[in-house]
Every structure is written in C-alpha cells, then in structure tokens.
Amino acid sequence: MNFIKTTVLALLILTVTACNNKKEKQSSEKVSVEKTTLKKDKKMKVLFELTSHDKLGNTVKKTGFWVEEFASPYYSLLDKGVTITIATPKGGAAPIDPSSAAPDAATEATARFNKDEVAKEKIANTEVLADMKSEDFDAVFYPGGHGPLWDLANDANSIALIEKFNVEKKPIAFVCHAPAALKGVKGIDGNPLVKGKKVTGFTNTEEDAVQLTAIVPFLVEDMLTANGGLYSKAADWSAYAIQDGNLITGQNPASSELVAEKLIAALSN
C-alpha cells in the first residue's frame, strides 16, 4: 500500500512539474515573439547631412547639394516609414546646385521633390550639424554635390559624428562627391576609416567630363585611394554602389537609388 501511495505521489509531482515547465516555455516563446515584433516595427530615424557651401571654388558659379542624390534616397526611406532629419554645418537653408535642378538632370525623384512643399520647407530650414547626436539616429546619409568638398571634408563636427556612428556600428552612407566627408575620418584603430575598405565615389574621369578638375580642392577618387581605400568604379555615369560592413558608398548621381537600397537593407538587419 505504501508503495502505491509513493508511486502516485511521484507521478503527481512529475505531472505538476511538467505543466509548470510547459507554461514557462510558452511564456518565454511569447516574450521572444513580442521582442521580435517590437524590433521589426521600430520607427527608424535617419540623419541626412547636407552641405552649406554654395560657391564653386574661385569661379562665379554656384554649387551646393545635388537634388537627385538627396531626393531618391529621401523618398525611398520616407516611403518605408523612416523619420528623416536634415542638417547642415550652418543650419538654415541648404544650397541646391543649380545644375542639378536643370531639365537634363531631372528624374522621377526630383520631379516629386519639386512638388513637395514639405520637403522644400525642410531644406529651407535645416538643423545645425553641431546639435546632432548619433544616439538619436539609426543611420546617417550624406548626399553629394560639389559643396561637401569645401565644408564637410574639413568639418570637425561632421568628422566626429561619422566616427561616433561608426563606433556604434550604425550604417554610414555617402554618394558621389559626399565621400569627401570621409577625408579626415578615422576608424577605431586610428587609421583612416576607409583604409582597407571597399569604396567608390565620383571618378577622376567624371570630374574631367564636367571640366572641374582644376577647380575642386581635391579629387574624390584620389583622396579615397590615398587614404588606403580599396577604390573601384563602373563606367562613367553608370549606377554603382558598394558596401563594406556598415560603410556604403555610391559613385555618382545615378547611384543614389542603389545606395538607398543598401541603406534600407542595412537598417532591416
């Protein structure tokens, strides 16, 4: 009789323990699913850093940022629900390169921008770069245009911000002349950030084609190579973008959409 009672008691204990374990497992699985959903549904925030420089060297011509290189990534991210903040070194209005607003430079994205009063209002009232903090964003993107060659390439706040994004292993993306902003940026090891990394940017031959080789302070291709970057390129004016870790670079205006795609993919991981 005692044997039977002992056996029944043991079975009862095992049954209760199994039920509790099952409940704990279900609870853990539920939490895991909820965490995944929250991460998936997180509202991404991306900082767009534009130039404040509007003078093309020692000429009387104007420069600034290139509309297509802003507009294509801007709408690609915006349509994905990304919150975008736009900043410049000086704050206020970001200068648009007049050539990028010409009919021969028009694309679907630039046409959309021309009708977008909200976006144009943001461009006219950008935030000040020095006030931007990497912890407030999931990634940073630099559109090109010749302007960055003069200001962002040497801007201490921009350099420090890119280095902070890199330390935090967040995506840092650049297109066309915007890789100029990487000129003074250091990696965690103290070497130039681009050293040993696959990169691209506006080519020397493309700069020759627009007859500005003698005007610009330096050539993007030469700078990236001199800093140890593993520079590569496609045919002039072809769409080409490359990613190495969290660093994304695009060759020219035609590459802005590819850079946006790689940035979106990086934010989705």
- The span from the CA of 174 to the CA of 24, in Å, is 47
Residue 133 covered by a domain: yes
Q: Which residues pair with 215 in a beta bridge?
A: none
From the centroid of its chain, how far is CA 39?
19
Residue 37 covered by a domain: no
Residue 179 pLDDT: 98
**Is the distance from CB of 228 to CB of 195 less than 8 angstroms?**
yes
Residue 27 covered by a domain: no
- The span from the CA of 174 to the CA of 251, in Å, is 9
179-222 pLDDT, tens digit per residue, is 999 999 999 999 999 999 999 999 999 999 999 999 999 999 99
Residue 71 covered by a domain: yes
CA separation, residue 81 to residues 108, 238, 264 (Å) = 19, 29, 11
Q: Which residues pair with 241 in a beta bridge?
A: 250
Residue 52 covered by a domain: yes
φ, ψ dihedrals at 83, nearest 5°: -85, 125
CB contact set of 194 (below 8 Å; sequence gap of 6+): 179, 182, 185, 224, 227, 228, 229, 247
Residue 19 covered by a domain: no
Number of domains in the chain: 1
Residue 215 covered by a domain: yes
The H or E element spanning position 108 is helix 108-114
Domain hosting residue 217, numbered range:
43-268
pTM confidence score: 0.85
CATH of the domain at 119: 3.40.50.880
Find the angle CA(5)-CA(10)-CA(11) to the nearest 5 degrees.
Answer: 100
> Residue 178: left if φ>0, alpha if ψ -120 to 50, beta else—which one?
alpha
Residue 145 covered by a domain: yes
- Which pair of structure tokens corresponds to residue 263? 């940035």
The H or E element spanning position 48 is strand 45-49
Nearest residue to 269 via CA among 230, 240, 231, 243: 243
DSSP-derived letter for residue 236 is T
pLDDT at 87 over 70: yes
**Is the distance from CB of 160 to CB of 193 less than 8 angstroms?**
no
Nearest residue to 252 via CA among 263, 265, 236: 236
15-40 pLDDT, tens digit per residue, is 444 444 444 433 333 333 333 232 35
250-265 pLDDT, tens digit per residue, is 999 999 999 999 999 9
**Is the distance from CB of 227 to CB of 182 less than 8 angstroms?**
yes
**Would you place residue 269 in the very low, low, confident or very high pLDDT band (cuts 50, 70, 90)?**
confident
Query: Average of pLDDT values for 48-70?
Result: 97
pLDDT at 9 over 90: no
Provide the 3-class DSSP secondary structure of residue 216: coil
